[in-house]
Structure formats: structure tokens, C-alpha cells
Amino acid sequence: MDCENVGFVDCHTHLADSMFEHDIQTVVENTKRAGVAAVLVCTVTPSDFPLVLRLCDQYPDVLVPCLGIHPVQKDSNGEQRCVSQEDLDKVITEMEQYADRICAIGEVGLDFQPRITAESIHKDIQRNVLKTQVELANKYDLPLNVHSRSAGKPTIAALKEFGAKSVLLHAFDGRPSTAMEGVKEGYFFSIPPSIVRSDQLKLVKQLPMENIVLETDCPGLGPVKGERNEPANVQISCDYIAKVKNMTPQDVKRITTQNALKLFPKLMKILK
């Protein structure tokens, strides 16, 4: 596909988040107006599954679903906790049921923040949950939309060990040298608007353009800390990358959209 005149692709969002429930139509309209042609909407918990599927049914011309179980879940009091095997067991049948429809398995991955992995067994549990989801992605020839907070090196090592094929590492917070190990495997890295206030300049400098895509991770990771982020803000990521790489924003948009299509071929249905 000639991506010269195709819009942006936001490769990682959480538009089913409660922060959007009162004005999602306006947000989607803003998204289209900003030239964003496709938005991947990820799940985190089992309760997200019906919300994401319903939302993508509502706006099928721009939103595409990703189903997966995140390494961080919430307990009955709303406090964050490590994922359990039971969390995945609740939805694995549903993930298989919708395998033909979803764009990727995600959001999945590892999160080794000390408060999440307070017990040594927590890391093993996260790895097992990730392994099962990598196997599912391979079974249905789907890419993975991957979280790796405080776990860049072990996440890339695990993905290699488990035989992951198509991988997006979103909002990568590891060392650029660690990211290069992912580049060797053909993995992609998505850059959120928070890049303008982060310390990951060296990462953007070192990543080859053929491994970069755009994301917002909205409602989080916006250009202003604490303010709700939206898919329209992918332009901010694009402009930042263009400045760092000494390129035009138009070229960054074209290349990142081409990359997104390579990684997520089901987007062709929207971007045709």
C-alpha cells in the first residue's frame, strides 16, 4: 500500500477506560480530524474485554481491538496486584473465539516494579501468563502488544525464549542497548507523546526508523503529566521523532504507518 496519503496509526491505546466514557464520540471525532486513520484499543483486565469489543463495534472504521491480560491487575479494593493464572483462565476461551477479529494479543508482558513483584513467585507467574499468550499469538498468527515496565531486558529475553514472532514493545523504558536486542529480533517500538518530557531521547536516536511506530497509550502518557491523553496527540510523537531524526513529519508519518501495516496486517481492512 502507498502510505503517502494514509493517516497516522495509534498502535496502543486504552479508549475503553472510564476517563472516556462520557465523551468518547467527541474523542473519536477529534481523532479523525487529526488525521489518525486507525487506533488499536487494548485490554488490561478481564472486565475490559466486553468494553473494548463493544467500543470497536461502535466505531469500526477507525478502532480495532486487541485482547490480552496485562501483568498488573486490580484487587477488589482497586489496588494494583500481580496477575494470576486465574485472570488469564477467565478469558482465554474468549481470546480464541475472537482470534479472527482482533488485531493483536495485548496488552501483555512483564512488570517488575517492586510493589508488583513483592514475592519472588510473582515474576514466575507473570512469565507463565506471558508464555501462554505468546503461544496463543503464534497459534493464530497474531502480533503481540507488549508492556515491559522495569523489565525491558527480561521481557525481550522471555519473548525470544518463548518464540514470539511479531512484537510491539510499547513505551519502552529500558536502556537503548537493551532495545537493540529487540531490534535484532525484528521487534517494533512505539513512541508515546510523553517522550517530550521523558529521558528516552537516546532511545529515539538509536532506534532505526524501520522499527518505530507511534502510540499514545491514552489516557496515560500524554505530553503534560496528569492530563488526559488522546489519539490525536500522535502528531506530537511524530513531530518529536522528526526533529530528533532530522526528517520531515510527513516522512515520519509515512514510514511509521508503513511499519504499523507490516506489524498489524489486519489494519489493511481499515486503511484500504
Instruction: Judge whether 122 is annotated as a binding position.
Output: no
∠ at Cα 243 (238, 248), nearest 5°? 70
Q: Specify the DSSP class assigned to residue 100.
A: T
Instruction: Judge whether 96 is annotated as a binding position.
Output: no
Tell me the longest C-alpha to C-alpha distance in the chain.
Answer: 50
- Say if CB 71 and CB 147 are below 8 A apart: yes
Instruction: Judge whether 170 is annotated as a binding position.
Output: yes
Nearest to 67 by CA among 34, 22, 111, 100: 100
Amino acid at 58: Q
Instruction: Judge whether 147 is annotated as a binding position.
Output: yes
Q: Give the Cα separation of 227 and 219 in Å (integer).
A: 8
Instruction: Judge whether 14 is annotated as a binding position.
Output: yes
Instruction: Judge whether 57 is annotated as a binding position.
Output: no
Nearest to 147 by CA among 66, 235, 72, 240: 72
Binding-site residues for a divalent metal cation, please? 12, 14, 107, 147, 170, 217
Binding-site residues, please? 12, 14, 107, 147, 170, 217
